[in-house]
Amino acid sequence: MASSCCSLNVTPTLVLDKIIALSGETGIPKVMNISFKQQIAEDEAFTKYIRDKIADVKASLTRVRTAIHEMESKSDKVAWKDAIDCFKETKDTLELKLSCLTQPADENFDGVKELKVHSAIMDMCE
């Protein structure tokens, strides 16, 4: 995962061109390809971690929704009102957490796809 101070949309081609021009070597693309593959592996691991967290939150949401439904189906709703309200707050919190986790997972997945394209181009150039 890129550090927070760096944009994922920045392409290092200008810097790479200068390095290649100064060094006069063609080994730089191989180093960049290795760097791309390492970044891909790290980003895929991060994406898997986030998706596991998403699955955990979805499972928790299912349990909370089931509990709310069971409590609301009781004949004495007044006795269960505080518990139902508490579970509804928990449900809202879990839904917010789910939306907050989903966006970075999608963005990271898109970044991995872009890196794979760059890596494939580097492989073709060898």
What domains are there in the chain, each with its CATH number?
13-125 (1.10.287)
Write out the two tokens for 31. Answer: 């180093």
Q: Are 108 and 46 in contact (CB under 8 A)?
A: yes
Q: Are 8 and 111 in contact (CB under 8 A)?
A: yes
pLDDT digits (tens, 9 = 90+) for 19-52: 666 666 556 666 777 777 788 788 888 888 888 9
pLDDT at 4 exceeding the cut of 60: no
Reported residue count of the chain is 126
Per-residue pLDDT band for 7 (boundaries 50, 70, 90) equals: very low
Could you give the 3-state DSSP secondary structure of residue 12? coil
Instruction: Count other C-beta atoms under 10 Å from residue 34's C-beta.
Output: 12
Per-residue pLDDT band for 65 (boundaries 50, 70, 90) equals: very high
pLDDT at 2 exceeding the cut of 80: no
For 19, 44, 83, the CA distances from 40, given in Å and listed in that order, are 23, 6, 45
- Say which amino acid occupies 32: M
CA distance 26 to 43: 27
Averaged over 73-94, what is the pLDDT? 88
Mean of per-residue pLDDT scores for the chain: 76
